[in-house]
Chains A and B, each alone.
Chain A
Amino acid sequence: MTVRQPEPPWLAQLLLAWLLPTRYRDQQLGDLREEFLSRRARHGPVATWKWYWRQAVRSLGPNVALRSRNPDKPDKPRATRMETLLQDLRYGLRTMLRSPGFAVVSTITLALAIGVNTAIFSLVNVIVFADLPMGDPGTVTILRSANQRLGVEMGGFTAREYLAYHDNSESFAELAAWRGGQWILTGDEEPLRVDGFSVTPNFLRAWGIGTVAGRTFVSDEGQPGAPHVAILSHGFWTRQFGARPDVVGSTLRLDGEEYTVVGIMTPAMEYASLAEAEVWVPLTLDRTDETFDARMLFVTGRLRDGVTAEQAGREITAISAGIAEELPPIYRGWDPRVFYAMDSLVNDDGRRVLLLLTLTVTFVLLIACANVANMLLARATARGREVAVRRALGAGRLRLVRQMLTESFVIGIAASAIGLGLSRLLMQSLIWMTNGREAAFQMATLDGNVMLFTLLITLITPLAFGLLPALRSAGSDVSSALKDGTARAGGRKGNRIRGVLVGSQVALALTLMVVASLLARSVINMQQRELGFDPAGVLSMRVAIPESRYGDDDARWQFFQQVLDRSQGLPGVEGVVLSRSRPFVDGAPTRSFEIAGQVVEEEMDRPSAQAWVVSPGYLDLMRIPLLTGRDLTEQDNAQSYEVALVSREAARRYWGEEDPIGQRIKLVSNREMPWIQIVGVVGDLASTDSQDERSQPALYLPFGQNVGANMAVLLRTQGDPLSLAGPVREQVWAIDADQPIDDVRTMEQALRDGRLTSYALIMLFVTFAVFALAMSAVGIYGVMSYSVSQRTAEISIRMALGAKSGNVRLMVLGQGGKLVLLGGAAGLLGAAGMSQLLKSLVIGISALDPVTFVGVPAVLGTIGMIANYLPARRATKIEPMRALRVE
């Protein structure tokens, strides 16, 4: 058996072939295919696919120029062709003005569909086609560490792992690591928190990135004890320092230490999540540091020439296996993987939502096209006589088709122009709905790619909706069409086509409605579940103190204790506590632990739980019930034995029937950890895993024994929580005037912010579905009214011969019902297929949720039958004598 060769994207090939003159068609397609194959082997399929599309789309302009210089066959003098076009345009405009209703309705229908397509494409454009900031991005890879047991797909690495790969790997020309960081910038103004990255000095070289002023890091700057240097982001340099050139060479105070600014980063780095970085400093990897085995590094590498990501992945896996023996137990279960940077920047759920959106808007466009095609078909039949007369007078069939297509193009162009405006409106409302929190919505602008896409749609849609009606009407039989009356009977085939169109509309609409309903029900489920705590009336803020100024646990504990004491006394404060993470906002880290007296054979089976570090009073303040045992108290501090609370789910999962109270556990770490005694069992929080309704097991550790530097301060308040933001801030500044306070939000607001993007997406899907439903209803109504008006004579005769009006109604209803039924059945199959794509996004119900799969067709059927009933009723109101007289 021969292996099938990969082919370049056929649509791009078609686009090229369509525009190119014969002289260059084979050459250019051949060149691109040859390079496509050789690139695919080096850069992987996705990158190559994108490369091909880029080549095809950017060649549009030059190829049009080529075509204009090399016309294929100058069969007719140019002037005549141009004149014909103008004539067609004039004629088209005139016919449209004669029936403005049709023109307006079809233009609006298409404009809506084109608008949503352009909007969604502009999203796809930023997410999938965006220029990566690095030079020659095709050979840049991102390494990720996965751990099946913890359900981590995109984990980071430890410094130990990175150094092992860096020293032993042959696959990479450059292997760099980075990690996020936060510093406090102090100076003349208010203390400011700055975000940034610590990067190994070769990071910029690996990505092929330069500075716009000053220099990049040199390798010595990663050594322990090297002088502190920093590179500023272009945006930060502009915002904070007015882009003054003398900033390079000056010093900054970060966390109280002096840093020399050596360079300004290129603005190209302000890309996606990198855009948040304001400061870049060299990363020092110190073997004696306690974070040496902390999984907090991201690793990226530039492949050597001719090495693929798969090969590099195999090598890295082999290196990992080679050092596995000497690693502490916390390393077990982690597998390194290597991805191309281009493929890995969008996560799976994001990709799925994007694919779903793209499919949805394509459906919307198809439905709109079907609707306009339907209107055109009806009109074509009505214009049968006009066409027949023109043909009898010698108009060629091709000429007529062209003229009718010109009319379609006029509609298409008008619709695209309006659609572009609508797409902007849609993006604006998405930004507004998400409070500007979703970067992708803001980055989605009308760039060249989007304009080209809209242009393509403008060219393709009129063909999609106009070609069939044009061919049909131009092809009708001259002699029979000229005889009045038979023109209508000749519409039988036309009716069948229109029936198929309406059937497909119903099918597409049903599919979209099912998708929208599944997603909407998921969001409602998410919202209605019991959180397990009460966010109402709670104010939260984050206070992260720099470790350089608060060097030991004692100093940190002192600081936060003062914050608690001072805030407690403020009027309106019912209680105040600390917590390292806020439920459903920051998420707590998952820690593995061992249980005294229990032996695990496989590392995979080791118990694990979310670890919350909280100060006494947390349960009360958050209204989390204490089920048995005792709460954490002030006495659980560094001087006393270590204690913890467990959640009910943790107790159930790891102790079963036994009472966990009095049991001892030990967290897994590369350091020697103390035994911790369990003193209480508390209620569960809701699950954060969309696929698993069971809560995650949780541990609550006292702040007094697990002092941190970055804590959330939570206050339960009387009255408006936000009114306390100012007083609390002042209390903190009274302790330390250089201490910034971040992320001041009520818990309710924080929870809501986390869901904004899902709300916006659901709104999109629901809008699309309603739009689809409305258009199908209009389609059914149109076809049935038309069919009734055509059968006026037949119905009149039946009624004159004594048919009951009920029977006539049933006959018409049955005809339309058949369309709805067949379309609906096809739609159910489509919906079942689509729902498989949705599986990971659907929460709390099955992807084949019976309520949805019965309820949605019921709604669609009802609306379909109403649209069907109106014409049916009209049929029975026909006065037989008058109808027959017309005949």
Chain B
Amino acid sequence: MPKSDFLGEFEQVVLLAVARLKDGAYGMVIRQEIEERTGQDVVIGSVYSALDRMERKGFVRSEVGNPTPERGGRAKRFYQLRRPGVLALNRSRDVATSLWEGLELDPEAHVQ
């Protein structure tokens, strides 16, 4: 397994958002999905930067849609999950699950 196949936390979040949105995943809705799900401020530039990286790794592919008036006549770029992306997500979950197995953490029992 090549090293770069491990997903970073933010990459994982973006990839999951793309997966959740199915066919309608483009920059703005991906950003909003993440913001709603995680409650954290996300800037559009970071989303595109992560998507660009993952498109290079073959996790997602993109195609340009049609321009719309509320976008000032600019087109959307739709993203879709590819098989390596699905595999990487599954792997990340498996790794986390196996590490968590049998573990119960209590914040009170640890130093600050």
What 0/1 pattern do residues 61 to 97 of B give for CB contact below 8 A with A?
0001001101110111100000000000000000000
Kindly identify which residue among B28, B46, B52 contacts A35, using a CB–CB cutoff of 8 Å.
Answer: B28
Kindly identify which residue among A26, A34, A60, A69 contacts B45, using a CB–CB cutoff of 8 Å.
Answer: A60
Q: Closest approach, in angstroms, between the C-beta of A68 and any C-beta of chain B?
A: 10
Is A58 a contact partner of B43 (Cβ separation < 8 A)?
A: yes
| Number of chain A residues close to chain B: CB under 8 A | 24
Residues of A within 8 A of B44 (CB): 28, 31-32, 55, 59
Contact (A54, B43) CB under 8 Å given A27-B74, A30-B72, A65-B49: yes
Is B72 a contact partner of A29 (Cβ separation < 8 A)?
A: yes
Q: Closest approach, in angstroms, between the C-beta of A386 and any C-beta of chain B?
A: 43
Nearest to A24 among chain B residues (CB) is B48
B26 within 8 Å of A (CB atoms): yes
Residues of A within 8 A of B75 (CB): 26-27, 30
A37 within 8 Å of B (CB atoms): yes
Interface residues in A11-47 (C-beta closer than 8 Å to B): 24, 26-35, 37
Q: Closest approach, in angstroms, between the C-beta of B63 and any C-beta of chain A?
A: 11
Is A24 a contact partner of B74 (Cβ separation < 8 A)?
A: no
Nearest to B52 among chain A residues (CB) is A66
Residues of A within 8 A of B31 (CB): 31, 35
Residues of B within 8 A of A66 (CB): 45, 48-49, 52
Residues of B within 8 A of A54 (CB): 41, 43
Is A37 a contact partner of B70 (Cβ separation < 8 A)?
A: yes
Give Cα A63 to B47, complex, Å.
10
Kindly identify which residue among B41, B46, B71 contacts A30, using a CB–CB cutoff of 8 Å.
Answer: B71
B32 within 8 Å of A (CB atoms): yes
When A and B form their complex, what is the total count of cross-chain residue pairs whose Cβ atoms lie within 8 Å? Answer: 78
Most chain A beta-carbon contacts within 10 A, residue among B31, B52, B56, B67? B52
Q: Closest approach, in angstroms, between the C-beta of A234 and any C-beta of chain B?
A: 15
Residues of B within 8 A of A60 (CB): 45
Give Cα A37 to B68, complex, Å.
13
Binding site secondary structure of chain A: helix
Q: Closest approach, in angstroms, between the C-beta of B106 and any C-beta of chain A?
A: 16
Q: Closest approach, in angstroms, between the C-beta of A268 and any C-beta of chain B?
A: 14
Residues of A within 8 A of B76 (CB): 27, 30-31
Is B26 a contact partner of A31 (Cβ separation < 8 A)?
A: yes
Give Cα A821 to B94, complex, Å.
79
Residues of B within 8 A of A30 (CB): 67-68, 71-72, 74-76
Residues of B within 8 A of A29 (CB): 72, 74
Nearest to A32 among chain B residues (CB) is B44
Residues of A within 8 A of B48 (CB): 24, 27-28, 62-63, 66
Is A61 a contact partner of B32 (Cβ separation < 8 A)?
A: no
Contact (A27, B27) CB under 8 Å given A33-B70, A33-B74, A66-B52: yes
Residues of B within 8 A of A27 (CB): 26-27, 48, 64, 74-77
Is A24 a contact partner of B52 (Cβ separation < 8 A)?
A: yes
Q: Closest approach, in angstroms, between the C-beta of B34 and any C-beta of chain A?
A: 13
Q: Closest approach, in angstroms, between the C-beta of B74 and any C-beta of chain A?
A: 3
Contact (A63, B71) CB under 8 Å given A31-B31, A31-B76, A54-B43: no
What 0/1 pattern do residues 606 to 650 of A give for CB contact below 8 A with B?
000000000000000000000000000000000000000000000
Residues of B within 8 A of A65 (CB): 49
Q: Closest approach, in angstroms, between the C-beta of A12 and any C-beta of chain B?
A: 12
Is A62 a contact partner of B45 (Cβ separation < 8 A)?
A: yes
Q: Closest approach, in angstroms, between the C-beta of B10 and any C-beta of chain A?
A: 10
Is B74 a contact partner of A63 (Cβ separation < 8 A)?
A: no
Q: Closest approach, in angstroms, between the C-beta of A125 and any C-beta of chain B?
A: 17
Most chain A beta-carbon contacts within 10 A, residue among B43, B46, B67? B43
Is B45 a contact partner of A58 (Cβ separation < 8 A)?
A: yes
Nearest to B75 among chain A residues (CB) is A26
Kindly identify which residue among B26, B45, B72 contacts A33, using a CB–CB cutoff of 8 Å.
Answer: B72
Give Cα A62 to B44, complex, Å.
9
Nearest to A7 among chain B residues (CB) is B72
A70 within 8 Å of B (CB atoms): yes
Kindly identify which residue among A34, A59, A70 contacts B70, using a CB–CB cutoff of 8 Å.
Answer: A34
Q: Closest approach, in angstroms, between the C-beta of B38 and any C-beta of chain A?
A: 13
Q: Closest approach, in angstroms, between the C-beta of A222 and any C-beta of chain B?
A: 28
Give Cα A59 to B52, complex, Å.
14
Is B71 a contact partner of A55 (Cβ separation < 8 A)?
A: no
Residues of A within 8 A of B45 (CB): 28, 55, 58-63, 66
Is B74 a contact partner of A35 (Cβ separation < 8 A)?
A: no
Nearest to B78 among chain A residues (CB) is A27
Is A62 a contact partner of B71 (Cβ separation < 8 A)?
A: no
Nearest to B74 among chain A residues (CB) is A30
Residues of B within 8 A of A35 (CB): 28, 31-32
Give Cα A69 to B48, complex, Å.
12
Residues of A within 8 A of B64 (CB): 27
Residues of A within 8 A of B67 (CB): 30
Give Cα A30 to B74, complex, Å.
5
Residues of A within 8 A of B52 (CB): 24, 66, 69-70
Contact (A33, B43) CB under 8 Å given A24-B48, A62-B48: no
Is A34 a contact partner of B46 (Cβ separation < 8 A)?
A: no
Residues of B within 8 A of A32 (CB): 28, 44
Is A33 a contact partner of B46 (Cβ separation < 8 A)?
A: no
Q: Closest approach, in angstroms, between the C-beta of A391 and any C-beta of chain B?
A: 41
Nearest to B65 among chain A residues (CB) is A27
Give Cα A34 to B69, complex, Å.
9
Q: Closest approach, in angstroms, between the C-beta of A517 and any C-beta of chain B?
A: 44
Interface residues in A65-82 (C-beta closer than 8 Å to B): 65-66, 69-70
Give Cα A65 to B45, complex, Å.
9
Q: Closest approach, in angstroms, between the C-beta of B100 and any C-beta of chain A?
A: 26
Nearest to B71 among chain A residues (CB) is A30
Residues of A within 8 A of B46 (CB): 58-59, 62
Kindly identify which residue among A24, A34, A59, A69 contacts B43, using a CB–CB cutoff of 8 Å.
Answer: A59
Nearest to B27 among chain A residues (CB) is A31
Residues of A within 8 A of B53 (CB): 69
Q: Closest approach, in angstroms, between the C-beta of B19 and any C-beta of chain A?
A: 19
Interface residues in B16-40 (C-beta closer than 8 Å to A): 26-28, 31-32
Give Cα A169 to B93, complex, Å.
46
Residues of B within 8 A of A62 (CB): 43, 45-46, 48-49
Give Cα A29 to B28, complex, Å.
10
Give Cα A578 to B8, complex, Å.
68
Give Cα A278 to B74, complex, Å.
51
Q: Closest approach, in angstroms, between the C-beta of B80 and any C-beta of chain A?
A: 15
Q: Closest approach, in angstroms, between the C-beta of A207 and any C-beta of chain B?
A: 15
Other contacts beyond A33-B72, A60-B45, A62-B48: 15, CB < 8 A: A24-B52, A26-B74, A27-B74, A30-B67, A32-B44, A33-B74, A34-B28, A35-B31, A55-B45, A58-B46, A62-B43, A62-B49, A63-B49, A69-B53, A70-B52
5 contacts between A and B (CB under 8 A): A30-B76, A31-B26, A35-B31, A62-B46, A69-B56
Q: Which residues of A contact B (CB under 8 A)?
A: 24, 26-35, 37, 54-55, 58-63, 65-66, 69-70
Closest A-B pairs by Cβ, 9 of them: A59-B45, A30-B74, A62-B45, A30-B71, A62-B49, A31-B28, A31-B27, A58-B43, A26-B74
